[in-house]
């Protein structure tokens, strides 16, 4: 695996790959890698002959400056993990000057999908996500990109921007990777105290219970209210808990085959998200 830090060096390498007929897969990340990220790399098996993992903590997608500064970083540990796992040709870890040149003033906005769920209480977040993803697609010239379903709204937004901007990259969705107690893997989990980490298991457990009740025919509003209360009793501050279509993120009913339960809830200052399909 080669560590690359400048867009020019990256461009030189990917140009050679494309000339040789290679297929390039990319996994965009903000670092602090875990098994969920490795699953994204693994998902490219048989789909790409060359694989790039990018690490860049993107400042313009943080509406809270404190969250940006607290986001866990550790390039050496991340590189060691990728080396040990194998299968990655390039770790692209640019600094901010390689991404946002002085005077940078462009934003990619995916209207509609960005205003709901996480977009509701994180204004500008998805503009930042769409902008950095577009830039990374252009810099890596990837043919295929893997994204986890844990960030399902992000996945929908990336799919839409690729479709709307005619970007020549295929989007590969990868199922959420979970810990033994079903908590979705996330870099933010490392910021939880031992007490908070134990409580965090209530998040997936409550979703499972809510889904079981919905599938049993119970009233949607009642099930959501009960789940919300259960999470609050476990110590969470709930930001949203909604049933949406996985096709367009619009509000839907349990009878919809595409129905998916979405949640965002915080323990202290650590914001956790999750989602699960009803079917």
Note the pLDDT of residue 228: 98
Dihedral sign computed on CA atoms, order 15, 19, 20, 23: positive
Q: Could you give the dihedral angle defined by the CA atoms of residues 203, 209, 214 and 220, in that order, rounded to the nearest 10 degrees?
A: -50
Residues annotated within a binding site: 30-37, 61, 148-151, 154, 177, 185-188
Q: Can you list the residues of the chain whose pLDDT is less than 50?
A: none
Q: How far apart are CA 93 and CA 195, in angstroms?
A: 34
Cα separation values, 81 from 104, 185, 196, Å:
33, 16, 26
Residues annotated within a binding site for ATP: 30-37, 148-151, 177, 185-188
Note the pLDDT of residue 154: 98
What string of H, E and C letters represents the secondary structure of 235-274?
CCEEEEEEEEECCCCCECCCCCCCEEEEEEEEECCEEEEE
- Pairing type for strands 237-245 and 259-267 reads antiparallel
Residues annotated within a binding site for beta-alanine: 61
Instruction: Please tell me which residue in 37, 69, 202, 239 is annotated as part of the active site.
Output: 37
Note the pLDDT of residue 121: 84
Note the pLDDT of residue 71: 85
In the chain the domains, ranked by start, together with CATH numbers, are: 2-174 (3.40.50.620), 187-277 (3.30.1300.10)
Q: Could you give the dihedral angle defined by the CA atoms of residues 98, 102, 106 and 107, in that order, rounded to the nearest 10 degrees?
A: 60
Task: Write down the pTM of the prediction.
Answer: 0.95
Note the pLDDT of residue 201: 98
Residue 30: phi, psi to the nearest 5?
A: -110, 20
Note the pLDDT of residue 63: 83
Residue 63: phi, psi to the nearest 5?
A: -80, -15
pLDDT 10s digits, 213-245: 999 999 999 999 999 999 999 999 999 999 999
User: Which residue reads 């007929």 in tokens?
Assistant: 21
Q: Are 48 and 25 in contact (CB under 8 A)?
A: yes
Dihedral sign computed on CA atoms, order 29, 33, 34, 38: positive
Cα separation values, 13 from 7, 83, 129, Å:
10, 19, 25
Closest C-alpha to 28, from 189, 130, 114, 136: 136
Catalytic annotation present for 37 = yes
Note the pLDDT of residue 258: 97
Q: How far apart are CA 67 and CA 49, in angstroms?
A: 36
Note the pLDDT of residue 47: 97
Q: Are 75 and 113 in contact (CB under 8 A)?
A: no
């Amino acid at each position: 695996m080669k560590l690359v830090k400048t867009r020019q060096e990256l461009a030189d390498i990917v140009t050679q790959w494309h000339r040789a007929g290679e297929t390039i897969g990319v996994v965009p990340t903000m670092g602090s890698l875990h098994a969920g990220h490795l699953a994204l790399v693994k998902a490219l098996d048989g789909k790409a002959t060359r694989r790039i993992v990018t690490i860049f903590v993107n400042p313009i997608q943080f509406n809270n400056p404190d969250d940006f500064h607290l986001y866990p970083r550790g390039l050496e540990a991340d590189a060691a993990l990728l080396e040990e796992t194998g299968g990655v040709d390039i770790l692209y870890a640019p600094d901010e000057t390689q991404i946002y040149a002085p005077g940078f003033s462009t934003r990619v906005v995916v209207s509609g999908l960005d205003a709901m769920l996480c977009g509701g209480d994180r204004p500008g977040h998805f503009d930042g996500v769409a902008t950095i993803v577009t830039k990374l697609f252009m810099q890596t010239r990837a043919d295929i990109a893997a994204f986890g379903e844990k960030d399902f709204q992000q996945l929908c937004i990336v799919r839409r921007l690729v479709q709307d901007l005619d970007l020549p990259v295929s989007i590969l969705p990868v199922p959420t990777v979970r810990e033994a107690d079903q908590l979705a893997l996330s870099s933010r989990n490392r910021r939880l105290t031992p007490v908070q980490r134990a409580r965090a298991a209530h998040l997936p457990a409550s979703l499972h219970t809510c889904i079981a009740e919905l599938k049993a025919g119970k009233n949607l509003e009642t099930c959501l209210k009960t789940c919300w209360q259960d999470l609050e009793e476990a110590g969470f501050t709930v930001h949203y808990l909604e049933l949406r279509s996985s096709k367009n993120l619009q509000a839907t009913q349990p009878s919809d085959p595409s129905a998916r339960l979405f949640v965002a809830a915080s323990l202290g200052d650590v914001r956790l998200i999750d989602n699960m399909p009803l079917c």
